[in-house]
């Protein structure tokens, strides 16, 4: 039996998920180090500047998160169907698109940053520091976007050990350079940006080497296949739906940060610290969502309904266990983590006041993560797009109703409402997905 049609077992799910969870663990550690090293400067402004600058870039880049998700779903299905040539061509299409998008961001950086700061009501000190950060980081745009495609391909072929190696290299290098540039050389916010830039470019070179199997044959430069109109339209349809979903999701988090900024630099800094908890949740649960992507995609390509159902169930079971552990860890250890990331007593106390919401999110958001993985693997992206539109509409209503009444607490409750809505709207559509698979 071909590997991609083999039985879905707990061991196979964990073989995919565990390297992702371990490698992703370095990403929030990186965010915490970024926040922590500038936090040693003793004021809230550098923390807010790195936070707002990172969110602006994440908003721009994550629009192209469809390259990670779309590549995973399409390559997993090609693999399930035994189409090796198409899996290599898909990577090439995605990398070419990433390079073009990155160059576009560099050329348009002035306009993009102007627009971002028109929307972000920060203090003059935070904006000045954030601009310095952004003007350095933007030169990593082609590498950062290409890494989405590289990571998606590795997940689809179940080579998550390769993803682990890639993330450990990038984030380990970034952390070392952070400590050197900021604490050793005193470069401040600019040092954080330079460290990330170097890590991004070294990472994409390593990532392409890890994907060398895609370049072993001639499929990557089979230009009639790479630029085949029918295949491009299919890729565009899947990626277009995911892009709309990604824009709405990242826009929701950006709105969260910008609304929080209206409460002042202190609340902005506290929310930035707590968003590291949200990132830890995302990166941990993503391991099991990614296992669903790869295994559901292969099951769809092989037209195997039993494997689809089993991949979804086993991935979700492990995801639930992880979510419970995260929630307990945040509730018990959250104050200590806050103290590690900020030295300002005011920032520490402000973050503690809202810790309950960050601790509740792992369990509340589990369904949304798992259904995302299932739908991406199945490339049921139209339904993902519709569900996200509905969820964001509910989120906006929650913001309008709760923020004026409850302030920053209302802002966090609205974020909880968003995750609940995502899980419910996707869950209602799941029976139809199973019914579409042949057997």
Answer whether residue 7 is part of any domain. Answer: no
Give per-residue pLDDT as tens, 374-392: 999 998 999 999 999 999 9
Distance (Å) of CA 378 to CA 24, 262, 383: 23, 40, 11
Tell me the pLDDT band of 44, cut-offs 50, 70 and 90: low
Q: Is 365 contained in some domain? A: yes
d(CA 343, CA 41): 9
In a domain, residue 2? The reply is: no
Residues ≥6 apart with Cβ < 8 Å to 219: 84, 85, 86, 87, 88, 89, 225
**In this structure, is residue 44 part of a structural domain?**
yes
Give CA–CA dist 366/381, Å, rounded: 19
Name which of 98-102, 277-281, 317-321 the model is least confident about.
Answer: 277-281
**Tens digit of pLDDT for each residue in 50-92?**
777 777 888 788 778 888 888 999 998 888 877 777 888 889 8
Q: How many CB atoms lie within 10 A of CB 358?
A: 26
Question: What pLDDT does 130 receive?
Answer: 79
- Are residues 122 and 130 in contact, defined by beta-carbon separation less than 8 angstroms? yes
Is pLDDT at 4 greater than 50 in this prediction? Answer: no
Distance CA 34, CA 191 (A): 10
For residue 289, is it within any domain? yes
In the chain, the number of structural domains is 1
Whole-number pLDDT of residue 54: 79
Residue 366 pLDDT exceeds 90:
yes
What does pTM read for this prediction? 0.79
pLDDT at 271 over 80: yes
Of residues 17 and 220, more confidence is placed in: 17
Whether 315 contacts 289, CB under 8 Å: yes
Is residue 68, in this structure, part of any structural domain at all?
Answer: yes
- Domain extent at residue 366: 17-436
Q: How far apart are the first and last CA of the chain?
A: 17
């Amino acid at each position: 039996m071909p590997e991609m049609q083999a039985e879905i077992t707990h061991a196979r799910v964990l073989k995919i998920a565990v390297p992702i969870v371990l490698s992703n663990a370095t990403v929030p550690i990186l965010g915490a180090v970024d926040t922590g090293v500038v936090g040693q400067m003793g004021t809230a402004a550098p923390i807010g500047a790195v936070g707002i600058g990172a969110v602006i870039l994440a908003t721009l880049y994550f629009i192209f998160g469809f390259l990670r998700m779309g590549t995973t779903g399409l390559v997993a299905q090609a693999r399930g169907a035994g189409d090796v040539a198409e899996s290599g061509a898909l990577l090439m299409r995605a990398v070419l698109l990433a390079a073009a998008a990155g160059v576009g961001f560099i050329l348009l950086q002035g306009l993009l940053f102007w627009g971002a700061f028109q929307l972000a009501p920060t203090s003059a000190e935070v904006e000045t520091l954030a601009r310095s950060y952004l003007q350095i980081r933007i030169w990593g745009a082609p590498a950062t976007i290409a890494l989405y495609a590289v990571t998606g391909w590795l997940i689809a072929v179940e080579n998550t050990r390769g993803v682990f190696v890639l993330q450990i290299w990038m984030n380990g290098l970034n952390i070392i350079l952070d400590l050197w540039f900021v604490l050793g050389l005193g470069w401040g916010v600019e040092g954080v940006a330079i460290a990330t830039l170097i890590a991004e470019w070294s990472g994409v070179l390593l990532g392409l080497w890890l994907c060398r199997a895609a370049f072993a044959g001639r499929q990557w430069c089979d230009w009639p296949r790479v630029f085949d109109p029918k295949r491009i339209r299919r890729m565009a349809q899947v990626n277009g739906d995911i892009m709309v979903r990604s824009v709405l999701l990242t826009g929701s988090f950006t709105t969260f940060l910008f609304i929080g900024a209206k409460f002042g630099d202190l609340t902005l800094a506290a929310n930035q610290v707590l968003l590291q908890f949200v990132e830890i949740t995302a990166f941990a649960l993503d391991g099991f969502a990614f296992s669903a992507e790869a295994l559901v995609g292969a099951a769809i390509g092989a037209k195997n309904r039993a494997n689809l159902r089993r991949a979804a169930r086993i991935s979700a079971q492990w995801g639930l266990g992880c979510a419970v552990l995260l929630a307990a860890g945040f509730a018990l250890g959250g104050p200590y983590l806050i103290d590690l990331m900020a030295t300002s007593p005011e920032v520490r106390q402000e973050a503690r006041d809202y810790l309950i919401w960050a601790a509740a999110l792992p369990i509340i958001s589990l369904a949304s993560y798992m259904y995302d993985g299932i739908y991406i693997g199945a490339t049921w992206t139209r339904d993902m797009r519709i569900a996200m539109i509905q969820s964001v509409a509910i989120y906006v209503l929650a913001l309008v109703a709760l923020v004026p009444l409850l302030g920053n607490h209302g802002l966090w409750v609205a974020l909880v409402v968003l995750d609940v809505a995502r899980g419910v709207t996707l869950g209602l559509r799941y029976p139809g997905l199973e019914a579409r698979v042949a057997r």
